[in-house]
Structure 1
């Protein structure tokens, strides 16, 4: 496993030590878990922004699906004659 060092304030270090003690986890485990959560959120935000930009470009290009067609498709979910999703 790779290693790195991190500078943090005395206050943050004290909070980390207290949390590690309460959770019976190592400081390294807590840092890894927190960083994993943070990076996952940032990656999800970046994906959302990318999807939004793509959707806006499609809308500007006139690639739209009629809302009534979408609602008809949704209404058919779970029925014997479930419809295919509407296409652009």
Structure 2
């Protein structure tokens, strides 16, 4: 793997500071990046599903949603409003 010169010095310093290999740090960084990308993709899929529900006119009135949220944590916690 090629590492640009502007990253190599800080990477070496961090590896030494943490007593870890550069390979370990690079693998951790890639793992974290892939996890963030998977989360972003999941959020995008949720957004597309939400937009589709709006297109299909499957909506909940705002006051009903707020009423339900205000009941959270109380003894009389309500059920989610029906679409």
TM-score by structure 2 length?
A: 0.88
Paired position in structure 2 for 1:87: 82
Paired position in structure 2 for 1:3: none
CA distance in 2, matches of 1:19, 1:26: 9
TM-score by structure 1 length?
A: 0.84
Which deviates the most, 72-81 or 62-71?
72-81
In angstroms, what is the RMSD of aligned CA positions?
1.3
The one-character-per-residue Cα deviations of 1:47-75 (angstroms, maximum 9, x if unpaired) are 11111111001101101011111111111
1:42 lines up with 2:41 in the alignment:
no
Which 4+ runs in 1 deviate beyond 3 A? none
1:7 lines up with 2:14 in the alignment:
no
The one-character-per-residue Cα deviations of 1:15-69 (angstroms, maximum 9, x if unpaired) are 3212101221111210111111111111111111111111001101101011111
Q: 1:75 to 1:11 in 2, by over 3 A?
A: closer
